[in-house]
């Protein structure tokens, strides 16, 4: 047992802090950004380019692709420091498209896309979910029909960031409707910018952001944009490069929220008593602090297992389900602690902590649904982790 | 960072599983629940032969000189197999008190005998007020010449009925932390014990001290400085209990998953129902969290790093998590799990007892609240 990071990783932590203080184009103490939101995405892209210049955006990539082959624990340090400051440095291009191309892409595809991903020149939108295919993703119905050198794509993709400055979409499409559902899917890259037949709608979310709904009406996608074998797209999409995937950003973000709430409790009164002196609030906030700490350790374990070439299976699902649910509870408690003020929107002059807690609470429900709902995660823990029989 | 067990720890764990599955099956646990002593000298001797009683005692006193984090690995397995008897009270409560505060002479007197299994020890800390703070210690030790006279009542003293010595926390001054420790032979004149019947069927006693005289050589550490040691022992004790609970939780999870695979209702194993799967997933989450929050604190204690925050967080988390694990274990087992015949109840009774020992969740959450700046 040894719970400390290597000294060189701790040095790296300081380096990141200094860099962020100097280079971040917004004030992380005052402002939370949603990278999938239109107005924020430009700022985020600017900063990502700076990270790209540092080589940090692709630190997890193999050296042959211009990465640093950074250790899992070093990635943890980076992700923690970014998330603590509310910076979304996770990028679908870097984390998903790049690695998939490295494993399945043609030389031409690698040449075309990898450098641009590494420099954050392309904003990627994920085209997986559809209005009728959520948890049962493999039931997706967006059709791609072969026609000469192209696929002709029709259907719709939802819950993406296509509306927010996105250039390309990596998507799963059905190329063989008669095959078993997992075996008729292909993975294609589709340019969105100026594409005929593409309609992008903005879906207002209950928090201060939108998600995209993209409709494809006979959109022509060149066959050279097919990644991997036709009809093997399900497996292409499931490919993972060995990134740290502990979800350590959640406890790191939550740590900051905890600190903000502790300060709030030390400065504000409820019914004439300092909140920090209220035994119920002390108990509840301390309980969340323990849950956040436990989440952090579970995340460290996932990254550590990866560093040992062990495959985190149920462990990764555990951090996802427990982490997202803990974050949701924490924000909910935050609003309660703030009392009537907790309900105020970010733009109110009365809103404590600029309304960040209110908005983040609304947004935190998304965490328990996106990328495998809590229910799907629990199924994974039970069936793959504990080997319980499928229903 | 290394979140796994090292080779020696892995070996200790495997050895412990082999030994305990043979020597401490559930039949033994059940027998000891009814037994007057609550353990058998035969098994005690075998445990001593394993070197476990001296696991963390320095070699110069006849021990193996491993670290506290190694002991935690062993305690996990003892929790899993519900080892009855005075191991915990001898090694963690009595032994570690002496290791921390004892003079060279006292260490030579007691530690080799602990390691060899010749003496059983315990800690007499809590009193009828059931408080964990220094103010809860009201039993007095009055200095008279070269001896002390002890008067008062200790309550919830573990295994006092079979202990040869008790480390007794006594008040020797008026300010709150004027506490001193004494190593007192349990057979001393003026000591009267009454066994308590408890939820976990362990052995705890009321121990009344009526003009009990001990020589000043019985003083452990400096006069009025005993509370410093007690605070450390409370931390070791809390994390030791966390380890037992973590191991017990793992066993309850394993039992429940096995049962869910075998038990058939509506023509299919109940483990194929999503409701049961999600119970098991939640249990696995609690067990996973228990393990690492315990290890983190154990590691810090082993390294001599400040650990107030980590210990408080661990005891707060694991106390609740183990109770939740047992509750879901019961729910998944249905009625059979509530029967005396089934092992579930052995675990859930122990879970409740461990939850309240060395500070319950609320006690530790208040510590956490202070530490995070509230």
Q: What is the pLDDT of residues A147-173, one digit of tens each?
A: 999 999 999 999 999 998 899 999 999
Question: Does the ipTM exceed 0.90?
Answer: yes
CA distance B167 to B138: 15
Lowest-pLDDT range of A2-11, A22-31, B44-53: A22-31
CA distance B134 to B150: 17
pLDDT of residue A239: 75
CA distance A78 to A89: 9
- A40: confidence class by pLDDT, cuts 50, 70, 90: confident
pLDDT tens for A85-95 read 988 777 889 99
Q: Which residue of A has its CA nearest to B271?
A: A388
Across the interface, do B280 and A266 touch by the CB < 8 Å criterion? no
- Cα–Cα separations (whole angstroms), residue A9 to A73, A87, A146, A216, B292: 8, 19, 50, 46, 21
Across the interface, do A377 and B281 touch by the CB < 8 Å criterion? yes
Beta bridge partners of A198: A216
* Right CATH for A7-118 from 1.10.540.10, 3.90.1570.10, 3.90.226.10, 3.40.50.300: 1.10.540.10
pLDDT tens for B63-81 read 999 999 999 999 999 999 9
Q: Domain limits of chain A?
A: 7-118, 124-237, 249-385
The answer to whether A146 is a known catalytic residue is no
- A33: confidence class by pLDDT, cuts 50, 70, 90: confident
Across the interface, do B374 and A285 touch by the CB < 8 Å criterion? yes
- A243: confidence class by pLDDT, cuts 50, 70, 90: confident
Residue with the two structure tokens 């299994």: B117
Across residues A223-233, what is the average pLDDT?
A: 97
Across residues B341-367, what is the average pLDDT?
A: 97
pLDDT tens for A249-281 read 999 999 999 999 999 999 999 999 999 999 999
Domains and CATH numbers, chain B: 7-119 (1.10.540.10), 123-224 (2.40.110.10), 228-371 (1.20.140.10)
Across residues A179-207, what is the average pLDDT?
A: 95
- A241: confidence class by pLDDT, cuts 50, 70, 90: low
- A35: confidence class by pLDDT, cuts 50, 70, 90: low
pLDDT of residue A62: 92
Q: Is the pLDDT reported for residue A190 higher than 80?
A: yes
Beta bridge partners of A126: A170
Contacts with B, A 280-319, CB within 8 Å: 281-283, 285-287, 289-291, 293-295, 297-298, 300-301, 304-305, 307-308, 314-315, 317-318
- Cα–Cα separations (whole angstroms), residue A207 to A38, A232, A356, B98, B189: 14, 36, 11, 59, 73
Q: Pick the residue with more confidence: A37 or A342?
A: A342
pLDDT of residue B90: 98
- A238: confidence class by pLDDT, cuts 50, 70, 90: confident
pLDDT of residue B146: 94
pLDDT tens for B295-350 read 999 999 999 999 999 999 999 999 999 999 999 999 999 999 999 999 999 999 99
* DSSP-assigned letter for residue A145: E
Among the residues of A135-200, which ranges form H helices? Answer: none
Measured over the CA atoms of residue B314, residue B5, residue B71 and residue A386, the dihedral's sign is positive
Q: Is the pLDDT reported for residue A303 higher than 90?
A: yes
Measured over the CA atoms of residue B314, residue B315, residue B318 and residue B320, the dihedral's sign is negative
User: What backbone torsions phi and psi does residue B217 show, to the nearest 5 degrees?
Assistant: -70, -15
CA distance A100 to A235: 10
pLDDT of residue B289: 98
Report whether CATH 1.20.140.10 matches the domain A249-385: yes
B208 touching A (Cβ < 8 Å): no
B-chain residues within 8 Å CB-CB of A73? 1
Quick one: A124-237 is in which CATH superfamily? Butyryl-CoA Dehydrogenase, subunit A, domain 2 (2.40.110.10)
Across residues B256-269, what is the average pLDDT?
A: 97
Across the interface, do B282 and A298 touch by the CB < 8 Å criterion? no
Average pLDDT, chain B: 97
pLDDT tens for B112-127 read 999 999 999 999 999 9
């Amino acid at each position: 047992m040894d719970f400390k990071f290597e000294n060189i990783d701790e040095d790296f932590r300081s380096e990141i802090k200094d860099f962020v203080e100097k280079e971040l184009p917004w004030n992380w103490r005052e402002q939370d950004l949603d990278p999938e939101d239109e107005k924020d995405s430009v700022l985020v892209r600017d900063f990502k380019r700076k990270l790209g210049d540092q080589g940090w955006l692709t630190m997890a990539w193999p050296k042959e692709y211009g990465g640093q082959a950074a250790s899992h624990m070093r990635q943890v340090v980076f992700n923690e420091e970014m998330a603590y400051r509310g910076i979304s440095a996770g990028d679908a291009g870097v984390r998903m498209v790049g690695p998939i191309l490295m494993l399945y892409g043609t030389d031409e595809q690698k040449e075309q896309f990898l450098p641009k991903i590494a420099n954050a020149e392309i904003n990627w939108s994920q085209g997986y979910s559809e209005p009728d295919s959520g948890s049962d993703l493999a039931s997706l119905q967006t059709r791609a029909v072969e026609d000469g050198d192209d696929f002709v794509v029709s259907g719709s993709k939802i819950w993406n960031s296509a509306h927010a400055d996105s250039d390309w979409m990596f998507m799963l499409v059905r190329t063989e409707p008669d095959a078993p559902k997992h075996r008729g899917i292909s993975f294609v890259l589709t340019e969105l910018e100026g594409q005929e037949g593409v309609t992008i709608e903005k879906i207002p979310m209950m928090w201060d952001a939108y998600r995209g709904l993209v409709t494809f009406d006979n959109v022509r996608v060149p066959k050279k944009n097919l990644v991997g074998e036709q009809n093997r797209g399900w497996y292409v999409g499931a490919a993972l490069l060995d990134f740290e995937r502990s979800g350590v950003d959640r406890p790191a973000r939550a740590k900051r929220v905890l600190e903000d709430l502790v300060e709030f409790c030390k400065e504000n009164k409820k019914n004439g008593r300092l909140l920090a002196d209220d035994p119920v609030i002390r108990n509840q906030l301390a309980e969340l602090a323990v849950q956040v700490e436990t989440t952090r350790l579970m995340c460290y374990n996932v990254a550590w297992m990866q560093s040992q070439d062990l495959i985190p299976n149920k462990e990764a699902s555990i951090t996802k389900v427990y982490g997202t649910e803990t974050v949701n509870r924490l924000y909910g408690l935050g609003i309660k602690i703030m009392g009537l003020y907790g309900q105020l929107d970010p733009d109110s002059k009365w809103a404590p902590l600029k309304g960040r807690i209110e908005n983040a609470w609304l947004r935190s429900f998304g965490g328990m649904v996106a990328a495998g709902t809590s229910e799907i995660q629990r199924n994974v823990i039970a069936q793959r982790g504990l080997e319980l029989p499928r229903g | 960072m290394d979140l796994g067990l090292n080779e020696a720890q892995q070996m200790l764990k495997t050895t412990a599983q082999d030994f305990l599955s043979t020597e401490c099956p559930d039949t033994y646990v059940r027998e000891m629940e009814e037994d007057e002593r609550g353990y058998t000298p035969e098994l005690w001797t075998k445990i001593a032969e394993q070197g476990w009683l001296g696991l963390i005692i320095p070699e110069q006193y006849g021990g193996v000189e491993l670290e506290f984090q190694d002991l935690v690995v062993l305690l996990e397995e003892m929790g899993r197999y519900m080892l009855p008897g005075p191991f915990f009270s001898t090694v963690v409560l009595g032994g570690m008190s002496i290791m921390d505060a004892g003079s060279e002479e006292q260490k030579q007197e007691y530690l080799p005998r602990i390691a060899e299994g010749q003496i059983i020890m315990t800690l007499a800390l809590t009193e009828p007020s059931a408080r964990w703070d220094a103010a809860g210690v009201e039993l007095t030790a009055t200095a008279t010449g070269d001896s002390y006279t002890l008067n008062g009542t200790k309550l919830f003293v573990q295994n006092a009925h079979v202990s040869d010595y008790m480390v007794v926390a006594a008040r020797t001054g008026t300010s709150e932390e004027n506490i001193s420790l004494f190593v007192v032979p349990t057979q001393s004149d003026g000591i009267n014990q009454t066994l308590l019947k408890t939820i976990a069927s362990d052995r705890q006693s009321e121990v009344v001290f009526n003009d009990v005289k001990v020589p000043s050589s019985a003083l452990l550490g400096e006069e009025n400085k005993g509370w410093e040691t007690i605070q450390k022992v409370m931390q070791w004790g809390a994390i030791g209990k966390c380890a037992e609970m973590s191991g017990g939780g793992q066993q309850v999870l394993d039992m429940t998953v096995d049962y869910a695979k075998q038990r058939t209702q509506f023509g299919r194993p109940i483990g194929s129902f999503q409701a049961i799967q999600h119970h098991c997933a939640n249990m696995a989450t609690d067990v996973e969290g228990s393990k690492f929050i315990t290890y983190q604190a154990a590691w810090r204690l082993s390294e001599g790093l400040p650990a107030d925050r980590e210990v408080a967080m661990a005891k707060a988390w694991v106390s609740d998590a183990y109770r939740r694990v047992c509750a879901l274990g019961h729910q998944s087992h249905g009625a059979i799990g509530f029967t005396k015949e089934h092992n579930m109840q052995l675990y859930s009774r122990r879970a409740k007892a461990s939850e309240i020992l060395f500070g319950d969740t609320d006690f530790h959450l208040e510590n956490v609240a202070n530490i995070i700046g509230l």
